[in-house]
Structures are given as C-alpha cells and as structure tokens.
Amino acid sequence: MNYRHAFHAGNHADVVKHALLIALVRALQMKPGPLTLIDTHAGCGLYDLGGDEAQRTGEAAGGVLRAFADTDPLLEDYRAAVRAVNEADEPRLYPGSPRILAGLLREQDALILNEKHPEDARALRQAMRGTAAAVHERDAYELWLAMLPTRTPRGLVVVDPPYEQTDERARITATLAAAHRKWAHGVTAIWFPLKDRAEHARWKDKLRQTGIPKLLAIEHWLHDTDLPTGLNGSGLFVVAPPYAFTQALPPLLEALRTALAPEGHRGKTGAEWLNA
C-alpha cells in the first residue's frame, strides 16, 4: 500500500467527507433506535497535522484551516468534531472517520471499524483506546458483506478506500449490489475522489445499472476548471439517505463551497439522484 492518508489529512476532501458524514449520522439519530456504524477502510484514526507527512504536502491549509477560519454556523458541528481531539482551538491533530464516528455515538449505538493493513491497524487500535469501538483487521469488502444485516435494525456503512487499485470502483459496485440484496433498507455512504469527469460519469452509469433505489450522488468540485493532475474535488454516494439529511444538504454544500473555494475559483457543488 503506497497511499498514506497522513500526507492528506485535513485536506478539502476530508472536510467535505466529514462534514457530510456528521450531518448524515445526526439525521439518522433523530430516531431514538440504536444504530450500528461500520467503517470498512478506517485508516489510522488520528493524524498529526504537525508531522512530517502533513507538513510536506501542506494540504490542511486548503481544508481544515479554511473551515476553521470560516464563521458559517453550518460548519460548527464539523469544527466541534475536530476540536474534540485537540487541547487548543487551533487544530494540531486531525480525527479520521473512526474518531469522528466515535464522538457521535449514543449509549445505544455500536461502532465497528476495519483496517486491513497491520501498521495502520495498530495505530487505529491506539487511537481508539477508551472508546466503544470494535476493531477488525480484514479485507474491507469481505467484512462489508459479513457484517450485514446489522444486529440493530438500522445502521450505516461507510466505505472510504484509497482508490489505488484499478478495480476499486468495480469492487465497490459489485459489493454494494450484493450488500443491497442482503440489507435492502440499510444506509451506505461511499466516498469518492473527483479527478476525471469522464471516468466519474462512467461510474455513475454503472451504479445506475444496479437498480439500487434511493441512490444519491453528492459532488463538490473545488476548481472552476479541472486540473490535469491531482484532486479536483470529492463527494459521497449515499444509499437511502434520511429525509432530514437531504433537506439540510443544499445549504451545507453551499457553506462547504464558500469555505473551501481556492482564491480565484468559485467551485461547484450539487446532488443528483442516480436512482430515485
């Protein structure tokens, strides 16, 4: 595995992913029944923004630091999640999805984390000490299906791979289709990078062909024109999002666009139903 998220922790894609994820979990928690939260590609759980990897890229300056400089109250839940792992207001540590999800747990909820790579799994266990999380070290796609249906009536699966494997999108599509057959009412959130528009459009067509209903594509394009290399944006595919989440989505996306747009760019956000 060549990808290391420590180089990218707190970048614009993390801000979008985690702000949306917090809003999604909050919407699901509007009902009192217990939730099972499953993170299939959990990573290390906690990242040092002052470390060599993060400092080498400086990507947090265009992400979490912009979100902290912004005053929009719609981003306050996100900022609070980052503050929760820091002693001071200024973010020095950055929480990955596992720590953010752990911070959202109610007493009746459960959190299942998975990280296949031994070094990252050890770091994850260290980062999750004192939380109620169960940590696994398995193939992400095998675990995804093995954990379904969840023990609680409702749940959320978060899928956040590094997209280094050429067949990653195909594996996600196939596993999502199989998961839907086992767990038709479940909520799934799949993070994706936006690099090539044509490739992304082809993937959306493949997802449409699964026939999975209530499949929402949420996109945040960072630049007005695509860069030839690097990350042009990111987003989430969400299966069966709750109504409260979809209603709150437009102003939240606008807040993210405004906070993260690089100088000289407006950026663009949007959401579309692939299968309503």
Question: Looking at the annotation, which residues are catalytic?
Answer: 160
Cβ pair 217, 237 in contact under 8 A: yes
- Between the two ends of the chain, the Cα-to-Cα distance in Å is 36
Cα-based angle 162, 264, 16 (whole degrees, multiple of 5): 30
CA–CA distance, 233 with 223 (Å, rounded to integer):
8
3 state SS of 2: coil
Q: Among residues 172, 180, 199, which one has the least CA distance to residue 239?
A: 180
Q: Exposed (0-12), middle (13-18) or buried (19+): which is 167, by Cβ within 10 Å?
A: exposed
**Which residues are 270's β-sheet partners?**
219
